[in-house]
Structure 1
Amino acid sequence: MGVERLIFAPPEEAELHVERTPVEVTCPRCSSTNVARYPVANYVGPRIVTKCQECFHHLSVDVPTADDHWPPWRSATMDWPSSRAG
């Protein structure tokens, strides 16, 4: 049993979901107004996507800011510039 299990207990829900925030934008591909912004776990790290919910066209993929609170375990020093010392 690692330390991460003590800090982050396993979820109690059977299914996990994220809140999708509606955005007042029209999809350029299908002209739908059902567009949402939400966090994802991407192969390059945590990202915030703005995506059409009808045709799943990506309108934008952004690096999360401190105001996005994503990921929930985000380090307070994540945006600090690194030094040569490490």
Structure 2
Amino acid sequence: MSGVDRLLFPPPAEDHVVVERKQTDRVCPQCGSADVRRYPVANFIGPRMVTKCQDCFHHLSVDVPAEDDHWPPWRSPTIDWDGSRAG
């Protein structure tokens, strides 16, 4: 980690880092639970939004984050721009 990275992304001050898991109106097809939540994850294929049952941990969906998801927090504002020949 470089010195610039430490200035931009300092270590968290909290003992525990918590991600908000937003309740959905979906029902788990595996166990029938109504406790299905959507939240961001760091996946091996990049940032994703997962919709997952909180009782049996069944994945209902894994999606590419939409603009209103604000994930990841360091996401480039030009992520959806078309590339140019200059790079």
TM over 0.5: yes
Q: Which letter maps to 1:35?
A: V
Aligned to 1:80: 81
TM-score (norm 2): 0.92
C-alpha RMSD of matched pairs (Å): 1.1
Paired residue for 2:44?
Answer: 43
Listed one character per residue, the Cα deviations across residues 35-86 of structure 1 (whole Å, up to 9, x for unaligned) are 0000000000000010000011110111011111000111101122223432
**1:33 aligned partner, one-letter code:** A
Runs (5+) with no aligned partner, structure 2: none
Moved over 3 A (4+): none
Q: CA deviation at 1:8?
A: 1.3
Q: TM-score, normalised by structure 1?
A: 0.93
Report 1:47-58 matches (<5 A). 47-58=48-59
Q: Aligned residues: percent identity?
A: 65
How many angstroms apart in 2 are the aligned matches of 1:81 and 1:44?
A: 21
- Partners of 1:76 and 1:23 lie apart in 2 by 27
Structure 1 gap segments, 5+ residues each: none
Residue 72 of structure 1 aligns with an amino acid whose one-letter code is P
Give the structure 1 partner of residue 8 of structure 2: 7
Whole-angstrom CA distance in 2 between matches of 1:59 and 1:84: 39
SS, match of residue 14 in structure 1: coil
Partners of 1:57 and 1:81 in 2: CA distance = 36
Q: Distance in 2 between matches of 1:41 and 1:66?
A: 16
**SS where residue 6 of structure 2 aligns?**
helix
